[in-house]
Amino acid sequence: MTAAPALVSPPSRFAQFYALTKPRVVQLIVFCALIGMVLAVPGLPSAAQFGLMAMACLGVWLVAGAAAAFNCIVEQGIDAKMKRTAWRPTAKGELSNAQTLLFSAVLCAAGSALLYFWVNPLTMWLTFATFVGYAVVYTVILKPLTPQNIVIGGASGAMPPVLGWAAMTNDVGPEALILFLIIFLWTPPHFWALALYRVEDYRKSGLPMLPVTHGNEFTRLQVFLYTLILLAGCLMPFVYGMSSWIYLAAALVLSAGFCGYGFALWRNYSDALARKTFRFSLIHLSALFAALLVDHYVL
């Protein structure tokens, strides 16, 4: 007699709602915001500043999670067609639109109130503008409209260090804008590397991603060219004087590595190499900002 297959219990309701916040993406957002906060404070933060950082990180996490949940509502039909996203609770029908919308609204309201009353109004408004930029401008308007969606919409994804800087200074200085520029330039080669090996998913979804509209070879060239531009952008903290040789050395090594992946991808494509390029892009940004942090405290 053949044994009956074991039933797999569905995820808990908490796990379903937590998945809506796209935790890994939000962790990178909060990390970049935290770097902005730390760099905005000369020397070691005081106890009060540590408390402010914690509140700001929590507020940014809540609003970023709200934007991610709202994105799941808008893209549930697309998510259901793509292997990478078909597991999401909204795509599987485990959570209704009403439940997800209420969850998003509560997170956004809680995060905005926390930022407004315990951090400062400027940070709250910048964070809310980032929510609108990602959840509405990028997701609803740009993503289904143009293959340049990730370039234009990347502005909202580049905001975290600006939010962190504003949280500590109640201002947006040129240093924050340099950090913004780095993430803005990093986003296209990072995302297009993913789109290259997920092109069939995007084709089925109907989204006009660059590999779908302009082909594999053109996209690979754009990835490589953007890594070169990014290399120049990554030198800006040193050129401006907000970092020293420690950061410069790390930036040169990491950016040269990204350019190397971009060049290899352009000249000799494979899905495996595209995956490696995508993974290295995550290492590149995380290590680059970590180097800024080390540089800030060592020298």
Position 144 confidence tier, pLDDT thresholds 50, 70, 90: confident
- pLDDT tens digits along 247-276: 999 999 999 999 999 999 999 999 999 999
Based on the number of CB atoms within 10 Å of its own CB, is 98 exposed (0-12), middle (13-18) or buried (19 or more)?
exposed
Share of the chain above pLDDT 90, in %: 62
Based on the number of CB atoms within 10 Å of its own CB, is 284 exposed (0-12), middle (13-18) or buried (19 or more)?
buried
* Residues listed for the chain: 299
Contacts 24+ apart (CB under 8 A), 2-11: 10/94, 11/89, 11/94
- pLDDT tens digits along 44-93: 889 999 999 999 999 999 999 999 898 888 877 777 777 767 667 777 77
Looking at residue 33, what DSSP letter applies?
H
Distance (Å, whole) CA 162 – CA 63: 15
Q: What is the b/e burial string over 207-216, where b = at least 16 CB atoms within 10 angstroms of the residue's CB?
A: bbbbbbeeeb
- Is the per-residue pLDDT at 4 higher than 70? no
Based on the number of CB atoms within 10 Å of its own CB, is 272 exposed (0-12), middle (13-18) or buried (19 or more)?
exposed
Once rounded to an integer, what is the mean pLDDT over residues 10-35? 85
Once rounded to an integer, what is the mean pLDDT over residues 190-200? 92
Position 5 confidence tier, pLDDT thresholds 50, 70, 90: very low
Once rounded to an integer, what is the mean pLDDT over residues 84-110? 84
Once rounded to an integer, what is the mean pLDDT over residues 178-196? 95
Q: Which amino acid is at 106?
A: V
- pLDDT tens digits along 131-141: 888 888 887 77
Task: Give me the pLDDT at residue 6, please.
Answer: 45
- Is the per-residue pLDDT at 106 higher than 90? yes
Q: What's the mean per-residue pLDDT of the chain?
A: 89
Between residues 234 and 19, the one the model is more confident about: 234
Task: Give me the pLDDT at residue 7, please.
Answer: 46
- Is the per-residue pLDDT at 38 higher than 70? yes
Looking at residue 119, what DSSP letter applies?
I
Break the chain into its structural domains and give their ranges. Answer: 13-172, 173-299
* C-beta of residue 48 within 8 angstroms of C-beta of residue 199: no
Task: Give me the pLDDT at residue 60, please.
Answer: 96
Task: Give me the pLDDT at residue 10, please.
Answer: 61
Contacts 24+ apart (CB under 8 A), 25-28: 25/64, 25/68, 26/61, 26/64, 26/65, 26/68, 28/282, 28/285, 28/286
For residue 258, give every residue at least 6 positions away whose Cβ sits within 8 Å of its Cβ, in sequence order, or none.
189, 227, 230, 231, 280, 281, 284
Taking the whole predicted model, whether its pTM rises above 0.85 is answered as yes
- Is the per-residue pLDDT at 100 higher than 90? no
Position 238 confidence tier, pLDDT thresholds 50, 70, 90: very high
Q: Which CATH superfamily is domain 13-172 in?
A: UbiA prenyltransferase (1.10.357.140)
